[in-house]
């Protein structure tokens, strides 16, 4: 059973990130299709999914199209009751649904003033009073979730759930703009963004160059705080240590150099996503450990 997931540009589409994480983090297989948010092709790309008009959108195996992230989440939870998308405890489950619903409907000041971007962290951003009020409300909800679940760190309800999925792009805004939150909230944001799946999402987004850069700010930027600066570099040719791509198992045609060794991949996308964050990819790091 494979789903078709339609998403926008990974560096900027917070809703697309939610849609992908609700499948990726719970082991639900999908084929990903890109919708052109910044190439003036969105309306055309979305036509086969009408009346859905925004990303993400999900096509079920029977051809049914589901739009809107909250509807996608409930549909997947209903279809996969054993996957654990919602907390098992009834009170925690009700609270998690509440947090997700308020995320979908609220925090307009934060979302407007701080569009999600995953490339770097802005320095010196000054949030408005309205944005600070949104942050206060978010922290209030997170504290309430932890009171219900009895947790003080990690996922809001003890085990990773859709609540963590829905608030990961919020975490990206808090960290990406250096917004003022408590130490506990900051640590939770960093945990969400350090998840290997989130690092992989960002690395795939970094394979695309933008000119001009969407949502630019008149501020200085500093490196994204998770993953560190990559020391890998693309090279034109091999030979490489490996003959087969660590992801597809196909013969290598594109290459990068890391720590004095050359590694091969079946195409430039596989190479470039690895180039962006080599440590995000277990199949790549395992190949290095076994070969070197």
User: Could you tell me which residues are beta bridge partners of residue 32?
Assistant: 5
pLDDT at 125 (0 to 100): 98
Question: For a pLDDT cut of 70, what percent of the chain falls above it?
Answer: 100
Q: Given this chain, do its domains 3-79 and 90-199 carry the same CATH topology? A: no
- CA distance linking residue 219 with residue 227, whole number of Å: 22
Q: How many CB atoms lie within 10 A of CB 54?
A: 18
In this predicted model, what pLDDT tens digit does every residue of 253-283 receive, in sequence order? 999 999 999 999 999 999 999 999 999 999 9
Residue 245's contacts (CB-CB under 8 Å, 6 or more residues apart) are 251, 252, 264, 265, 266, 267, 270
pLDDT at 259 (0 to 100): 95
**Average confidence (pLDDT) over 52-76:** 97
pLDDT-derived band of residue 228, with 50, 70 and 90 as boundaries?
confident
**Average confidence (pLDDT) over 171-194:** 98
**Which CATH class name applies to 90-199?**
mainly alpha
In this predicted model, what pLDDT tens digit does every residue of 66-79 receive, in sequence order? 999 999 999 999 99
pLDDT at 1 (0 to 100): 83
Domain boundaries, the chain: 3-79, 90-199, 233-291
Q: Let me know if 159 is exposed, middle or buried by CB neighbors in 10 A (0-12, 13-18, 19+).
A: middle
**Average confidence (pLDDT) over 190-198:** 98
Residue 292 reports pLDDT greater than 90: no
Are the beta carbons of 9 and 47 closer than 8 angstroms? Answer: no
In this predicted model, what pLDDT tens digit does every residue of 138-149 receive, in sequence order? 999 999 999 999
**Which CATH class name applies to 3-79?**
alpha beta
Residue 291 reports pLDDT greater than 90: no
pLDDT at 229 (0 to 100): 85
């Amino acid at each position: 059973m494979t789903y078709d997931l339609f998403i926008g540009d990974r560096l900027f589409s917070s809703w697309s990130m939610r849609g992908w994480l609700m499948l990726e983090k719970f082991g639900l297989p999908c084929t990903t299709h890109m919708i052109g948010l910044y190439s003036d092709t969105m309306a055309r790309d979305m036509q086969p999914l009408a009346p859905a008009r925004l990303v993400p959108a999900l096509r079920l195996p029977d051809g049914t199209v589901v739009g809107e992230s909250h509807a996608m989440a409930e549909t997947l939870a209903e279809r996969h009751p054993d996957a654990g998308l919602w907390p098992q405890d009834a009170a925690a489950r009700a609270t998690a649904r509440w947090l997700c619903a308020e995320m979908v409907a609220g925090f307009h000041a934060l979302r407007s003033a701080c569009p999600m971007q995953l490339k770097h962290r802005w320095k010196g951003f000054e949030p408005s009073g309205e944005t600070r009020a949104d942050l206060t409300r978010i922290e209030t909800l997170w504290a309430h979730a932890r009171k219900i679940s009895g947790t003080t760190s990690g996922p809001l309800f003890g085990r990773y759930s859709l609540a963590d999925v829905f608030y990961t792009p919020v975490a990206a805004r808090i960290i990406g703009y250096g917004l003022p939150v408590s130490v506990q909230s900051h640590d939770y944001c960093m945990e969400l963004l350090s998840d290997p799946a989130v690092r992989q999402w960002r690395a795939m987004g970094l394979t695309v160059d933008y000119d001009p850069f969407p949502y630019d700010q008149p501020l200085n930027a500093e490196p994204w705080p998770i993953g560190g600066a990559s020391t890998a570099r693309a090279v034109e040719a091999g030979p490489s240590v490996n003959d087969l791509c660590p992801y597809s198992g196909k013969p290598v045609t594109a290459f990068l150099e890391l720590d004095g060794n050359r590694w091969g991949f079946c195409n430039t996308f596989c190479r470039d996503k690895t180039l962006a964050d080599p440590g995000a990819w277990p199949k790549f790091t395992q190949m290095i450990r076994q070969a070197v």
